[in-house]
Amino acid sequence: MKSNILVVDDEAVARQSLTDILKLEGYAVSSVPNGQAAVEYVRVNPVDVLIVDLRMPGMNGLEVVQVVNQISPETEVIVLTAFGSTDTAIQALRLRIHDYLLKPASPAQVLQSVKKGLARRNGKLRTKSSTEPSADLEELTAEYRLKDGTLVDLSRRQIRYKNKVDHLTPAEGRLLNILMKNPGKVFSHRELVLLVQGYDTSQREAPEILRPLVSRLRHKLEQFPSLSEKVSSVRGTGYVYEED
């Protein structure tokens, strides 16, 4: 079975060149011209290796990686850029990328990186299948039980406390999950739009997009004493789930 590779680059020549090189090696290759298209593709198609340009108009490469890590954590990521720096390399490594290549990378470099990425992915999948439940199963059974017995059950998108039950929409569930998984971490408005809704927006527009969603979620959380004041606004920045 052919491995699936997605190439993301706003430069048509670079995108086509990479696609041709990889197809000649027998890979199943798709390509898209921007970050938003990449996220939409990964949401509905299996991708074993993602090769993404760092600097693109709109949604940049690091923002694409951040979203792909959420929606397809098994995908190995190769960042390819003509504008390398220590700062961007560190940011990329923090986002769990497989490799960081400087343009113009030779065909041999790209193919070697892809081969190693696939080997790493297959090794992790073998280890995971023998020692852990699948990522999908973990996501389906994710739940948080608080000290007072409140249960946030994301498999059913429910919050339960004693005889009280309320239901979350998919977007509310994703938002609460991201915040609860990272207590004390401040997420910017723009980051949350990317992670919850899967698309990029401006720093100016992001708060307007998030505000109604956060308002609805907080209204539901108000019914549960241990959650009622957990989702806090950080003025001019975003939101945080307050630790106990």
Residues 203 and 148 in one domain: yes
Closest to 152 (Cα-Cα) out of 138, 166, 163, 134: 166
Residues 13 and 112 in one domain: yes
pLDDT of residue 104: 82
Residues 154 and 235 in one domain: yes
Whether 115 maps to a domain, the answer reads yes
- Chosen domain end from 104, 131, 158: 131
- Chosen domain end from 131, 157, 177: 131
Residues 60 and 41 in one domain: yes
pLDDT of residue 90: 61
Residue 91 near residue 118, CB atoms below 8 Å: no
pLDDT of residue 142: 76
The pLDDT averaged over each successive group of 10 residues in the chain (244 residues) is 92 94 95 95 93 90 88 89 64 70 89 91 66 43 86 91 91 90 91 80 84 93 93 92 84
Whether 225 maps to a domain, the answer reads yes
Residues 155 and 222 in one domain: yes
pTM of the model: 0.55
**How many separate domains does the chain show?**
2
Whether 228 maps to a domain, the answer reads yes
pLDDT of residue 82: 77
Whether 136 maps to a domain, the answer reads no
pLDDT of residue 138: 42
- Chosen domain end from 131, 162, 192: 131
Residues 127 and 8 in one domain: yes
Whether 212 maps to a domain, the answer reads yes
| Domain extent for 224 | 142-241
Residues 46 and 102 in one domain: yes
Whether 137 maps to a domain, the answer reads no
pLDDT of residue 32: 97
